[in-house]
């Protein structure tokens, strides 16, 4: 397989650069044209250039800003005299294929800063890019007539770029700043392997069908309103039922694991946020208000309230670990451009808990939380991965604290046979953490729950417990959320199940369809009995034909549909269509209720 670049001191260096700097390929780790992250980075950045070249050929007036590789492919930001939309993408792709087929060499040149400024004199976007770079010697990459200011890395020629797809056109503020003009962005993806591209495109199509924003509207789960504010979800009755069921399941799961429910206020004095470090480290994400000359901050996290509850009583070593949990509503300011359905909102509810424990209990507690995670993920058929995040740039606490706690987390995971990735610099400002990444039904990865170890807040708030010998000791605080937030998790569940929720959380478990008016009373009686065992149902007794009502019921994606006619009323039976099992069966009303009751008692996290 072709070598397309090398890796030297953690940096990817393409062949063009290696040749210019006289770096021998044999002496270094070689990057082949395969599916590794490094190989795809080189390929995708080259695909971004190929796209820019194609756009330039089709629209000679085009000016280009930057074209980076991102987690899901690449994009390029640019400016045209007219608006592009998704219908323009096939023409650009066609041009790209044509240019790729020419096997144009991709060449690298070193140019002085002065020369570059002159070269791009009439291009205000490149001037904006240049303002951000202070090097005296810069590099240009050239393929055919197209050249671009670029650090690389690139594949050696355009022929290597074969399997790509342009995904969508979007708008983007120049340099990501809302104060700047809006320019055009095109997202795309590419692979060396044809089959991988095919799988990716299939996944995208499937994801579109499952989009929780669309299903959320179709199934009447939630909505947003301009009158209320962006990023502030409104839960409609069906969505609130779903959420309520999830809350109840999780409430039980916490209680059997020894957690105590607590509630703390939404707004806390600003001084509390100064003490916690949020004022200095997290202020830009928070909302503040001043009442009677006292400044308050809306909580972005629930920790400070739980700390105040911990401090309300004298705590003995016998009380530890002490576990407080709350469905804590938090507010965090997100840029309006970052808001996305239920995935990124400004108000959300966390399944938040704080475990106060001794140093020696930390490992056991981490493992217990991971057991909880396993149980929840298993319930919803999610696979998941763990990632340990280390000290970020903005952090409190000394290096020794960070080293010992980070090592403590990894030891706990290692000793218990967990595998995990590492996210350098991804920790919370007060401590390292374990992130839980969910893999959904179509293979996408989502960041959800987190477990964080914290010795800073107990120090700042002077928390202590009394030991066996009646001395005072500082507890460790573990912050943890398993779902993360109800909003995001329900968004993920909606896409994971494509709206076909399992009975344990389905907003409506059963739709009852009486064939004629004379069967309505029986249906309504059954509905009452179902409500008593906490199964929500709906009676479809509108004046539509039976077939139409069955079709409407099926569109609602409910687990079960029950049809009631003369026979059913006479014999006290029901005719059941189980959508998930794709089965039809007849049974007595009692057997039906018994079956649902059994299913419910199996629903345990
Ligand atoms: Zn570039
Ligand atoms: Zn916390």
Q: How far is CA 550 from CA 201, 511, 520, 556, 557, in A?
A: 33, 9, 15, 10, 11
Cα(266) to centroid(ligand 2), Å: 14
Residue 344's pLDDT is 93
User: How many Å lie between the centroid of ligand 1 and the Cα of residue 152?
Assistant: 5
What CATH superfamily classification does 510-602 receive?
A: Anticodon-binding domain (3.40.50.800)
Distance CA 221, CA 241 (A): 9
Cα–Cα distance measured from residue 210 to residue 498, given in angstroms and rounded to the nearest whole number: 5
Average pLDDT over residues 192-220: 93
Q: Is the pTM of this model over 0.75?
A: yes
Rounded average pLDDT over 160-184: 90
**Number of Cβ within a 10 Å radius of residue 361:** 18
- Between the CA of 583 and the centroid of ligand 2 the distance, in Å, is 46
Kindly report whether the peptide bond that precedes residue 300 is cis, defined as omega within 30 degrees of 0.
no
* Ligand having the closest approach to the CA of 41: 1
Question: What are the residue ranges of helices labelled H in 355-460?
Answer: 362-379, 399-415, 456-460
pLDDT of 436 strictly over 80: yes
Q: Report the DSSP pairing between strands 560-564 and 510-514.
A: parallel
CB atoms within 10 A of CB 424: 10
Instruction: Order across the sheet with 107-112: list the strands.
Output: 107-112, 137-143, 146-149
Residue 15 C-alpha to ligand 1 middle, in angstroms? 15
Instruction: Please report which ligand is nearest the Cα atom of 451.
Output: 2
CATH dotted code for 3-208: 3.30.980.10
**Active-site residue set:** 303, 332, 350, 352, 354, 433, 479
How far is Cα 530 from Cα 524, in angstroms, rounded to an integer?
A: 10
Neighbours of 3 (CB within 10 A): 15
Q: Which residues surround ligand 2, an ion (CB under 5 A)?
A: 301, 303, 479
* DSSP state letter for 105: B
Ligand closest to the CA atom of residue 300: 2
Q: Show me where the domains of the chain are located.
A: 3-208, 217-496, 510-602
Q: Report the alpha-carbon distance of residue 392 to residue 382 in Å, rounded.
A: 29
Cα 67 to averaged position of ligand 1 atoms, centre (Å): 6
Q: Are 146 and 53 in contact (CB under 8 A)?
A: yes
Three-class SS state of 176:
helix
| Residue 507 exposure: Cα atoms within 13 Å on the Cβ side | 21
CA 454 / ligand 2 centre spacing (Å): 9
**What Cα–Cα distance (Å) separates residue 509 from each residue in 219, 537, 560?**
13, 6, 6
Ligand that lies nearest to the alpha carbon of residue 277, given by its number in the listed order: 2
pLDDT above 90 (res 308):
yes
Using CA atoms, how far residue 208 sits from 211, 310, 461, 467, in Å, is 5, 46, 47, 57
Mean pLDDT of 132-158: 92
pLDDT at position 73 over 80 = yes
**pLDDT of amino acid 92:** 97
pLDDT tens digits along 338-361: 889 999 999 999 999 999 999 889
pLDDT in tens, 369-392: 999 999 999 999 999 999 999 999
75 - beta bridge partners? 187
Could you tell me the distance, in angstroms and rounded to a whole number, from the CA of residue 169 to the centre of ligand 1? Answer: 19
Distance 142 CA to ligand 2 centre (A): 51
Q: What token pair was written down for 273?
A: 């946020």
- Is 20 within 8 Å of 108 (Cβ atoms)? yes
Residues sharing a CB contact under 8 Å with residue 202, sequence separation 6 or more, in sequence order: none
Tell me: the pLDDT tens digits for 465-480?
999 999 999 999 999 9
Ligand nearest to the CA of 108: 1
Q: Cα of 302 to ligand 2 centre, how many Å?
A: 5
Q: How far is CA 70 from CA 41, 75, 187, 517, in A?
A: 9, 7, 9, 59
What is the pairing mode between strands 510-514 and 537-539? parallel
- 5's tokens: 């670049």
Kindly tell me the burial class for residue 214, based on how many C-beta atoms sit within 10 Å of its own C-beta (0-12, 13-18, 19 or more).
Answer: middle
Contact predicate 315/289, CB 8 Å: no
Q: Summarize the confidence of residues 387-413 as an average pLDDT.
A: 88
* Bridge partners, residue 163, by sequence: 191
Q: Give, as one character, the DSSP assignment of residue 157.
A: B
CA of 480 to the centre of ligand 2 (A): 7
Strands (E), 123-181: 137-143, 146-149, 163-173
Whether CATH 3.30.930.10 fits 217-496 = yes
Distance from C-alpha of 347 to C-alpha of 488, rounded to nearest angstrom: 11
Helix, strand, or coil (residue 598): helix
Give the pLDDT band (50/70/90) at residue 582: confident
Q: What is the pLDDT of residues 227-281, one digit of tens each?
A: 999 999 999 999 999 999 999 999 999 999 999 999 999 999 999 999 999 999 8
Cα of 461 vs centre of ligand 2, distance in Å, is: 13
Q: How far apart are CA 564 and CA 573, in angstroms?
A: 8
Contact 270, 297 (CB under 8 A): yes
pLDDT at 299 over 90: yes
Greater confidence (136 vs 41) lies with 41
Is residue 452 a contact partner of residue 327, using CB atoms and an 8 Å limit? no
**Nearest ligand, CA 106:** 1
* Whether the Cβ atoms of residue 574 and residue 564 lie closer than 8 Å to each other: yes
Ligand nearest to the Cα of 142, by number = 1
Q: What is the pLDDT of residue 261?
A: 98
Task: Assess whether pLDDT exceeds 80 at residue 581.
Answer: no
Phi then psi for residue 157, to 5 deg, are -150, 165
Return the pLDDT at 602.
84
Q: How far is the CA of 539 from the centre of ligand 2 (A)?
A: 44
pLDDT at 322: 97
DSSP states along 478-533: EEEEEEEEHHHHHHHHHHHTTT---TTT-S-SEEEEESSGGGHHHHHHHHHHHHHT
516: left (phi over 0), alpha (psi -120 to 50) or beta: beta
């Amino acid at each position: 397989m072709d070598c397309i670049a090398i890796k030297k001191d953690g940096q990817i260096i393409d062949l063009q650069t290696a040749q210019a700097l006289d770096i021998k390929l044999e002496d270094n780790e070689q990057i082949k044209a395969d599916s590794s992250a490094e190989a795809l980075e080189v390929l995708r950045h080259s695909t971004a250039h190929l796209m820019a070249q194609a756009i330039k050929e089709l629209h000679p007036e085009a000016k280009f800003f930057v074209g980076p590789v991102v987690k899901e492919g690449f994009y390029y930001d640019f400016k045209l005299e007219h608006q592009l939309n998704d219908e323009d993408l096939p023409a650009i792709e066609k041009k790209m294929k044509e240019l790729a087929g020419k096997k144009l060499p991709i060449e690298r040149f070193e140019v002085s800063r002065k020369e570059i400024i002159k070269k791009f004199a009439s291009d205000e976007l490149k001037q904006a890019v240049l303002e951000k770079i202070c090097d005296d010697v810069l590099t240009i990459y050239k393929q055919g007539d197209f050249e671009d200011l670029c650090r690389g890395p690139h594949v050696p020629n355009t022929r290597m770029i074969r399997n790509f797809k342009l995904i969508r056109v979007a708008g983007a503020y120049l340099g990501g700043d809302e104060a700047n003009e809006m320019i055009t962005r095109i997202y795309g993806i590419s692979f060396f392997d044809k089959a991988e591209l095919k799988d990716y495109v299939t996944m995208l199509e499937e994801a579109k069908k499952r989009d929780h924003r669309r299903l959320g509207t179709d199934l009447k789960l939630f909505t947003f309103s301009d009158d209320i504010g962006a990023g502030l979800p409104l839960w409609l009755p069906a969505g609130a039922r779903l959420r309520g069921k999830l809350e109840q399941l999780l409430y039980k799961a916490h209680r059997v694991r020894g957690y105590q429910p607590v509630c703390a206020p939404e707004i806390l004095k600003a001084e509390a946020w100064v003490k916690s470090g949020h004022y200095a480290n997290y202020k830009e994400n928070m909302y503040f208000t001043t009442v009677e000359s006292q400044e308050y901050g809306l909580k972005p996290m629930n920790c400070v309230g739980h700390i105040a509850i911990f401090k309300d009583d004298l705590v003995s070593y016998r009380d530890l670990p002490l576990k407080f949990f709350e469905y804590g509503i938090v507010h965090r300011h997100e840029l309006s451009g970052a808001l996305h359905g239920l995935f990124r909102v400004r108000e959300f509810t966390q399944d938040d808990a704080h475990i106060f424990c001794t140093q020696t209990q930390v490992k056991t507690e981490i493992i217990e939380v991971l057991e909880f995670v396993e149980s929840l993920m298993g319930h919803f058929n999610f696979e998941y991965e763990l990632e340990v995040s280390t000290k970020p740039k903005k952090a409190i606490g000394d290096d020794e604290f960070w080293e010992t706690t980070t090592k403590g987390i990894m030891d706990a995971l290692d000793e218990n046979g967990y595998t995990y990735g590492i996210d350098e610099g991804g920790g919370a400002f007060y401590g390292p953490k374990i992130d839980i990444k969910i893999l959904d039904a179509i293979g996408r990865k989502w960041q959800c729950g987190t477990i964080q170890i914290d010795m800073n807040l107990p120090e700042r708030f002077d928390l202590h417990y009394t030991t066996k010998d009646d001395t005072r000791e500082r507890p460790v605080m573990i912050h943890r959320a398993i779902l993360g937030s109800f909003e995001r998790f329900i968004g993920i569940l909606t896409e994971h199940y494509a709206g076909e929720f399992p009975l344990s959380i389905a907003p409506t478990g059963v739709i009852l369809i009486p064939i004629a008016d004379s069967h309505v009373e029986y249906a309504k009686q059954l509905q009452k009995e179902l409500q008593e065992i906490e199964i929500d149902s709906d009676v479809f007794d509108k004046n539509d034909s039976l077939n139409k009502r069955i079709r409407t019921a099926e569109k609602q994606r409910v687990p079960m549909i029950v049809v009631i006619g003369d026979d059913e009323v006479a014999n006290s039976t029901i005719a059941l269509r189980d959508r998930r099992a794709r089965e039809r069966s007849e049974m007595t009303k009692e057997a039906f209720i018994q079956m649902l009751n059994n299913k419910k008692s199996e629903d345990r996290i």
